[in-house]
Amino acid sequence: MSAKATAIAPANIAFIKYWGARDLTRAIPNNPSISMTLERCFSRCTVEYLRDARVHEVLLAGSGGALLQPPIDFAKRILEHLDRLREATRATGAFRVATFNSFPSSAGLASSASGFAALTLAVAGALGLRLSDRELSELARESGSGSAARSALGGYVQWPAGDDEEHCYAVRIAAPEDWELRDVIAIVDDGPKPASSLVGHGRAETSPYYAVRQSLLPSRLARVRDAIARRCLADLGPVLEEEAIDLHLIAMSSRPPIFYWKPGTLAVLQAVRELRAEGFAAYATIDAGANVHVICDPKSEATIARRLDALIEVRAVVRDRVGQGPRLVDEHLF
Ligand code: PMV
């Protein structure tokens, strides 16, 4: 007997970053983070539960629909998570999985966040289980991708909700309808990043500036929460830029250092400053990669996208927005 389910889960962009962990394997972070869930950057994952099988199968869906063998490292993390989910759900069979990303993978655009949230929801769907937001968030986090805990919910999300290591899940702090922010993503490099975020988390505490950032975080967290509650981009923007710079300052001063930026990263940061000088509310943030997310309001979005697209360093621009979070859908990948 078999049962199939397909889930879509969006990526997210962190306003306050997760960087450094108390327990890296289970993604128990050193600090709370806050993100906005996206809409157009998503993973779609189809899972078939094969009750009589013992060995999982993982495939990668190309944009034309072809199913391909995935790179070994990618498949390994998925297989480990499938074993974890099989144990957590007391299932005895195996899973056949195909996954598709609507955007470049491993380029610092949170493909592991959307990928593991979609995988977790699709496995539950194939087993006929209904997960609460909290259960989905905790189970997705157990993949080792902490940001996947935030992709379990739509809108504006904080993770973790409290200090309890055993129950480390995300909560929604505002709905997408509460504040219609846009994210213009300037892709300056669509290749894999030089070091995975897992490597970056592991090295974070070797930076002499790590403790300084930690000491600044409680006030930053409060400022971001407050700006979201008041829908004030002029207050949110400077904090999210400070956070992005500090994340990369920590990465660049870790031992050995990690440089995620490319020349195009600086070109976009410069353009964002010029746009601001002209009166556009545009603020930049960067996860563990070279690509820049420009957070803005709906009325500035088109101009910002056009200006960034015109830069020779920019390969593509994705116009994304705050979104609804994961869901089960009927269109399967196989
Ligand atoms: O969830 P991970 O292990 O891929 O780490 C995410 C790290 C950042 O994207 C840089 C920050 C964040 O909070 O999303």
- pLDDT beyond 80 at 109: no
Amino acid type, 245: I
Mean of per-residue pLDDT scores for the chain:
95
- pLDDT beyond 90 at 74: no
Mean pLDDT of 90-108: 87
Note the pLDDT of residue 294: 98
Structure tokens at 170: 């995300």
Runs of H (alpha helix) within the chain = 72-89, 111-126, 133-141, 147-150, 197-204, 210-230, 233-252, 263-277, 298-309
| pLDDT classification of 2: cutoffs 50, 70, 90 | low
CA of 18 to the centre of ligand 1 (A): 5
- pLDDT beyond 70 at 188: yes
The torsion angles phi and psi of 316, rounded to 5 degrees, stand at -160, 155
Pocket of ligand 1 (CB under 6 A): 14, 17-19, 33, 110, 112-113, 145-147, 197-198, 247, 287-288
Q: Is 216 helix (H, G, I), strand (E, B) or coil?
A: helix
Cis bond before residue 192 (omega within 30° of 0)? no
Mean pLDDT of 86-100: 96
| Contact of 108 with 290, CB cutoff 8 Å | yes
Residue owning tokens 């101009």: 303
CA of 91 to the centre of ligand 1 (A): 30
Kindly report the number of other CB atoms within 10 A of residue 218's CB atom. Answer: 11
| pLDDT classification of 107: cutoffs 50, 70, 90 | low
Identify which of 18, 101, 252 to mutate to test ligand 1's pocket (most ligand atoms within 8 A of the CB).
18
DSSP state at residue 192: P
Note the pLDDT of residue 246: 98
| Contact of 100 with 114, CB cutoff 8 Å | no
- pLDDT beyond 90 at 12: yes
Amino acid type, 73: D
- pLDDT beyond 60 at 1: no
Note the pLDDT of residue 106: 59
Residue ID of nearest Cα to ligand 1 atom 2: 145
| Contact of 123 with 82, CB cutoff 8 Å | yes
- pLDDT beyond 60 at 274: yes
Q: Is 232 helix (H, G, I), strand (E, B) or coil?
A: coil
Mean pLDDT of 163-192: 93
Mean pLDDT of 88-117: 88
Q: Look at 105 and 244; give whichever has higher pLDDT.
A: 244
Length of the chain: 334
